[in-house]
Structure formats: structure tokens, C-alpha cells
Amino acid sequence: MSFDRTLPRKGELELMALLFLHGMALASWFVPLGIVLDKAELGSIKSMAFAASAVAAMLSPLFFGAMADRSVPPAKVLRWISIATAATVSLIAVAIEARWSSWSVLLLIQLQALFCSPTSSLAGSIVFSQLVGSQRQFGTVRALGTIGWMAGCWTVSMFSLDASPRAFLLSGLLWCLLAAFTVRLSHASRSSSTVHRLTLRERFGWDALSLLKNHDHRVVFITSTLVAIPFAAFYPFTPPHLADLGLQRVSAWMSLGQISEVMALVCIGGILQRWKFKWVVSAGIGFGVLRYLLYATDSKWMVLLGLSLHGVAFTFTYISMQIYLAERIDAQWRTRAQALLAMMTGGIGNLAGYLGCGAWLAFCTTQNGTDWGAYWGWLCAIVVIVMVYFSASFRGTQAKSEGTKRDD
């Protein structure tokens, strides 16, 4: 797809603001969730509460993505599901304060996840639709999402809401602000018109699976799913490892990964212009290998060094894949393609990762503690296998297929 105009600076700032608010709203929900549940004596549902986002990612992104591609402007879809997310997350705060049953709270968390899950792919689609050059611009714009996440963490801590359900009320307020902000973007996001009666498969977005007919697209989606399984161990199990090493203020140490992510996002545009996509993603997975290899040493400073590589591994792998889809997929398939990526990584990959990595941790843990060397060492080996698969399978040439824009 060609563009005959340049993006005004004002428009780029609006996109940055959109991602900043989105990141801040997400962080003020996800970061305090586990601590709030523990404080409210709901620790028994904590693992299921985190798995709710993975379950939702397998169900709702494609449905809302298909809606945004065909019948409703993406900004309007984002607006309404942001309002729904704000309502449900606020109701969760009320339910916890009122000491509703654990299953009632879990049901509300799953409902919130169904509304929240598509927001990332929709926001990304809106941004991509307005960028003149995805490779050059997206990284810098996307960095504001990470900065917004960090701002959400700091705001929760600043007002001492780390263990309070009131953090969810803050999240609800931020989702409302995001919904209001999308009014400024509605004119910039137009959906393609539908000229035939939609089938049930099309309404739920399952026709996006036709993108897998293309060899390189298929390799990208499969790789994103496979690498998400070992990568899923990072957020749940790095904090207890840091605690075992005697480090205090674990949340602050975890921000090392976010700092490196911002730096990598700013640089990714120039890197993709100079390096082939295949080698950028391979390098990203390779940084993931190095990260877990350093973790396996079970040495304080080596683990912190590995932690600092998280942002590079994430950006080179997943953000490059998002840019790949924006560059290679026709505009009328853009939102569904991003939604399919979200489903494969955040849904199938993360769910398998949370369950599998959790079971592996239990196996590596005895009365004497956790054998972190064995735990991270075997996950490192899995990442190596995925890197070899991608490097050997991705061709870098595009055969014409449904949804493909151009030959590479």
C-alpha cells in the first residue's frame, strides 16, 4: 500500500498519547492484581486470574478485529470496549471491597479480560494505519506505550495502591480517558465496506486463518506462538528468583527490562531498514536465549544482566513481527492480522507457557528451594530450538496469497 502524504507531527503525537494512555491503563490493572488478590485472601484464584487474559486472547481479538476491518471504524470499536473494560474493572474493585465470593470475582475478571484483550491489537492497527513508514516510525511511537506502562506502575506506587482494590478504580478512570481520547482519532480510522453477506466464520474473524496459507506468514505466526511458551516464564517467575537472590524492591529491578525496551523501540526502525527481517527476529530470539542462559547461572549480577536484555528480546521479536504484518498484509486484513498475532502469542502461547512453565517450576522446587539453574537452563534450550526453526524455515520471499500485499 502506498501513501501520498506525510503524517503531521500533531498526528504522530496523538498516536503516542493513545499508546501512553493504553499502557498506563493496562499497568494499573495487571501490576497490582496479584498483590490485591493475596491481600483480599483470594490467592486461591490468582493463577486462574492471570490465565484469564490468555483465555480471552483466544476468543475476542479476532471477533473485534473482524468488526473493525469490515463494519465499524477501529477507533470506535476501541472506544466502546474501553468503556466496557472501565465498567468491569471498577466492578471488580467493588466486588473485592464487598467481599463477594472468589468465583464471582473470577467471573468478573474473565469478563474484563474479554473486553481488554483486543485493545492492544486495535490500538496497534490504528497506529499502523496512520504511519507513512511503519519500519521507521512505529518503534518510536510504540515506545510511549512502554513509558505509559511505567507511569502506571509509578502512579499506583505513588498513591500507595499496590495492595488496594482502589488501584482498579484508577485503571477504570484511565480506560475512560482512553475512550474519550479516541474521539479525536475517529476521522483517521476508516473500515472497508462489506459488499456481501458475512458468514459466521467471517463475523468471528476466523477467515484470518487464510493468512497461514502463505509460507512466510505461517512461519511467523508459528514462531510467535512457540517462542511465547518459554518467554511466558519471564514476568511470573523472574520476581521470585530475584527474591531468592536477596534483592529488595523487585518491581524496581524489573523496570530494567522496560528501560531496555524503550531504548530498543527507539532503535528498531533504523535496524529494520539496515537488516533483513529474518535476522532481526533471529537476533531477538537469540537475546532471549542469552537472557535465560544468564538466569541459569543463578548469580545476582548475571540475572540482572539477563533481565536487562528483556526489552531487546521482546522488541526485536514481537515488535518486528507486528511491523512485518503491517508491511506485508493488505490494508483490509490489517486488524485481523494483528488480532491473529495477539491470539497466537497472548492466547495459545501464553496459556501453554503459564501452565507449562508453572508445572516445570513445581518440578524444580523441593523443600530445599528451587533449582533455578535447571529451570532456566531447560527453558533456554527450548528457545534455542525455536530460533533454529525460524532461521531454517523463514524464506524472506512472499508468494501471492490472500491478504498478502506484495512480493518481498
- Its pTM stands at 0.79
Tell me which of 155, 190, 225 is where a domain ends: 190
In the chain the first and final C-alpha atoms are separated, in Å, by 13
C-alpha cell at 190: 476508516
The answer to the question of residue 80 being in a domain is yes
The answer to the question of residue 404 being in a domain is no
Q: Are residues 218 and 331 in the same domain?
A: yes
Domain that holds residue 141: 1-190
CATH number at residue 46: 1.20.1250.20
Confidence class for position 70, pLDDT limits 50, 70, 90 = low
pLDDT, tens digit, 9 for 90 and up, residues 388-403 = 999 999 988 654 444 5
The answer to the question of residue 290 being in a domain is yes
Phi, psi for residue 369 in degrees, rounded to 5: 115, -170
What pLDDT shows up at residue 160? 78
Phi, psi for residue 79 in degrees, rounded to 5: -60, -50
pLDDT at residue 40 above 70? yes
- Tell me which residue has cell 492497527: 125
Do 330 and 403 touch, CB atoms closer than 8 A? yes
Do 42 and 102 touch, CB atoms closer than 8 A? yes
Q: Are residues 357 and 270 in the same domain?
A: yes
- The tally of domains found in the chain comes to 2
pLDDT, tens digit, 9 for 90 and up, residues 214-269 = 899 999 999 999 999 999 999 888 888 988 898 876 667 877 888 999 999 989 98
- Tell me which residue has cell 499502557: 23
Confidence class for position 405, pLDDT limits 50, 70, 90 = low
The answer to the question of residue 199 being in a domain is no
